[in-house]
Amino acid sequence: MKRGSYRARAVVLNSLDYGESDRILTFYTLEQGKLSGIAKGARRSRKRFVGNLDPLSHIDLMFFHNGSTDFVRVEDAKLVDAFAPLKEDIERLADACYLLELTSEMTREGIVLPAVYHTLVAFLKMLEASPNEELLRFFEIRLLSICGYLPHLGGCVACRQHAGEERLYFSSERGGLVCRRCSSGIMGLIPVSPGTAGLLSMAARLEAGKLERLKPGAAFLEESERFLYDFIKFQLGKELKTRRFMAKLKSAWA
Ligand SMILES: [Zn+2]
C-alpha cells in the first residue's frame, strides 16, 4: 500500500484495549484482506466511531497507511451492521466469535482474498437468521477451500480410489481420506462416512447462498465436527480459544 488514506468494507475480527484510550484492532476487509491497526482515542466517548469497533461489527472503514509498516491508523468507522441479534444469546455469540477467530487464524496480511470477506459476511447473516451447527461446518470447509487448505475428500489419498459405499477414514496428516485397505499403520485416523465426505466436498464449492440445497445425513454433524477440527488444529498448529469456550458452554448446558 502507498502512503495515504483508504476506505474499505471491513469486519472487526479482534479488538484489544491499549494504553489509556487506544485500541488495537484486526479487520478482514474486502479491498485489502486482513489488516491490523490502531484506533487512537477510540475509548473516549467524544470520538464518533466509539462502539463501532467492537468485534463482529461490519463497518465502512476509513484508515491511513504510512506506506511502510503493516499497521494502519483508523480514522473513522461507520456501522453497516452490528449483528446485534448475535450478541443477545451466548451460544450464538460464541458461534459468531468462532467464525471471527477462524478467519483471523487462517488468513495472512498482504494476501487479499475477497471471497473470505464475502463468505464471512454471508455466514454471519445466515447465523443471525437461523443458527445451526451445520453452518459452522460449512464455513470451515469453505474457508479451508478459499485459503488453499482444502483436504482431499473425493477418494483415498494413498491409492486414489474414488469414495464408494465403503467406510472411510480421515487423516489430518495425510490431508484427506484414506480407504480401509490403505489405513494400516496410519495414526490418528477418524472414521468418516462417504455421505459426510461427499456433502462437505460439495459445500466447499458452493457459494454461501446455495448451501441450503444440501441435506446433511444423521451422522454428519458428529463426524464432520470431529475430523474438520482435527484438520484445522493440524494446519494451524494450535487449539482455538473460542472452541474451548464452546466446549465449556456445551458441557454446562448438558
Ligand atoms: Zn486407498
pLDDT (tens digit, 9 = 90+) per residue, 189-246?
999 999 999 999 999 999 888 988 898 988 999 999 999 999 999 999 999 999 999 8
Say how many Å lie between the CA of residue 155 and the centre of ligand 1.
8
CATH fit for domain 4-82, picks 2.60.120.620, 1.20.120.80, 2.40.50.140, 3.40.50.1000: 2.40.50.140
Q: Report how far ligand 1's centroid is from the alpha carbon of 218 (Å).
A: 25
Residue 137 CA to residue 109 CA, distance in Å, equals: 24
229 CA distance to ligand 1 middle (Å): 23
Q: What is the pLDDT of residue 144?
A: 97
Q: How far does the centroid of ligand 1 lie from the alpha carbon of residue 160, in Å?
A: 6
Tell me the CA–centroid distance for residue 115 and ligand 1, in Å: 33
Taking the centre of ligand 1 as the mean of its atom positions, its distance from the CA of residue 93, in whole angstroms, is 41
**182 C-alpha to ligand 1 centroid (Å):** 4
Ligand 1 mean position, distance from CA 227 (Å)? 18
Low-confidence ranges of the chain (pLDDT < 70): 43-48, 50
Fold matches, 4-82 and 85-253:
no
Ligand 1 mean position, distance from CA 108 (Å): 34
What does the H/E/C string look like for the chain? CCCEEEEEEEEEEEEEEECCCEEEEEEEECCCEEEEEEECCCCCCCCCCCCCCCCCCEEEEEEEECCCCCEEEEEEEEEEECCHHHHCCHHHHHHHHHHHHHHHHHCCECCCCHHHHHHHHHHHHHHHHCCCHHHHHHHHHHHHHHCCCCCEEEEECCCCCECCCCCEEEECCCCEEEECCCCCCCCCCEEECHHHHHHHHHHHHCCHHHHHHCCCCCCHHHHHHHHHHHHHHHHHCCCCHHHHHHHHHHHHHC
Instruction: Give pLDDT tens digits for 63-80.
Output: 999 988 888 999 999 999
CATH number for the domain whose boundaries are 85-253: 1.20.1440.120
pLDDT, position 45: 60
Distance 174 CA to ligand 1 centre (A): 12
Q: In angstroms, what is the span from residue 164 Cα to ligand 1's centroid?
A: 11
Q: How far is the CA of 145 from the centre of ligand 1 (A)?
A: 23
How many A from CA of 157 to the centre of ligand 1?
Answer: 7
CA 123 to ligand 1 centroid distance, Å: 34
Interface ipTM > 0.90:
yes
Q: 199 C-alpha to center of ligand 1: Å? A: 20
Q: What pLDDT was estimated at residue 196?
A: 94
Query: Domain-by-domain residue ranges, the chain?
Result: 4-82, 85-253
Separation of CA 189 and ligand 1 centre (Å): 13
